[in-house]
Amino acid sequence: VTQKIDSAIKIAKEALVENRNSHWVVGFSGGKDSTAVLKIIISAYKAVRRPPQKLDIIYCDTGVESILLDRYVKGVLKRLRTELRSTDIPANVKILRAPVSDRFFVKIIGRGYPPPTNSFRWCTKNLRIRPVSKYLKSASEDDAVVVLGMRENESEQRRRSVTKSGGTVWQTQREGKQSRRIFLPILNFELTDVWDAVYLVKHPRSIDPTALDRLYRNGSEECPVIKPPSAPPCASGRFGCWTCTVVRRDRSAEAAIASGTKELQPYLDFRNWLAEIRNDYSKRWPERRSGQPQPGPFTISARKEILRTLSRLERRTGHRLLTPSERAAIGLLWQRDVLIERELGIQP
Ligand code: SF4
């Protein structure tokens, strides 16, 4: 491996030894940066004589993750669990999810939320930030060290925020009364170092670098899973949600389809349709739930239409897009809103 990777592994080894009683948490998104970090931490862990006994690898599953990434990551996590067990590394692979009431389609089809836009971006917090913070809150009680794949050179915005917070591999993140330590072993990595680490560091073996590389063919940013000290907005990422309507066009899906991944077309059509009907006010309540005279939630008949279209997409792709508990939550939410619609004089 290269000198930069060697020195990152060395720093990680020292950090593990010095913090062996802490609860180590590696934030894994499946993307290249967090893959490089995972490889560095696992390699360091294997090389340390008395490593920490609490090590979690966390992944946040939004339920609407980019189709190709979702398939890739679920495969990696499954293999990783087996590999870690067989190598006696006492690490837990944890998949975090938002509570059913906060999931993307429960909000849209159940509560009638309009699909997110830049000015009403209700999704990032519900789907990505909150499930992770909730988990970290409990881990922080054991003096957590959170390992992230943040890099100074990722973007100008990142560089500014890193410089502001001292530019060191150790940073502190405050959340309410709690503060937790963030360890950033690849802070000074350039993009080429990241790919070197992905390809050259052997462990864990469950990650196939070429499969990851394929996901990046059309290159762009990732949607952050754990909010680092100052995170860029999540919206322009290739690794965002396939349903994301915050971006005007889903260029990464368009590019993937243009280069032959035709299976994404029905998902893209659905996303485009969802973005369009947001602005059809005949499908929305005439007022908000608060009573403000502005377009409110989708009407129940519009929500039913979205559910029918989504179910068609499920049948067409053979991919389950709503879990049974999400369907049940939607049904319960409709029961209450039927009464409100009656009061508002909306025809069913
Ligand atoms: S990718 Fe888009 S829809 Fe998903 S959480 Fe981020 S902003 Fe929201």
Per-residue burial over 11-37, b if 16 or more Cβ lie within 10 Å, else e, is bbbebbeebeebbbbbbbbbbbbbbbb
Cα–Cα distance for residue pair 121/143, rounded to 1 Å: 32
Whose alpha carbon is nearest atom 4 of ligand 1? 241
Whose alpha carbon is nearest atom 1 of ligand 1? 240
> What pLDDT score does 232 carry?
40
Cα 234 to averaged position of ligand 1 atoms, centre (Å): 6
Q: Which helix (H) or strand (E) holds 170?
A: strand 170-175
Q: Pocket around ligand 1: residues whose beta carbon is below 6 Å from it?
A: 116, 121, 123-124, 127-128, 223, 234-235, 240-241, 243-244, 246
Tokens of 28: 């894994």
Query: Ligand 1 test: best mutation among 246, 247, 250, 251, most atoms within 8 Å of CB?
Result: 246
The mean of the pLDDT values for the chain is 89
Cα 107 to averaged position of ligand 1 atoms, centre (Å): 13
Token look-up 């947001």 returns 278
Whose alpha carbon is nearest atom 3 of ligand 1? 244
What is the number of helices (H) and of strands (E) in the chain?
13, 6
- For 199-247, write each residue's pLDDT tens digit: 999 999 999 999 998 888 654 444 444 444 344 444 444 578 999 999 8
Which residues are CB-contacts of 83 (< 8 A; sequence separation ≥ 6)? Answer: 204, 205, 206
Q: Band of the pLDDT at 1, cuts 50, 70, 90?
A: confident
- For 292-331, write each residue's pLDDT tens digit: 999 999 999 999 999 999 999 999 999 999 999 999 999 9
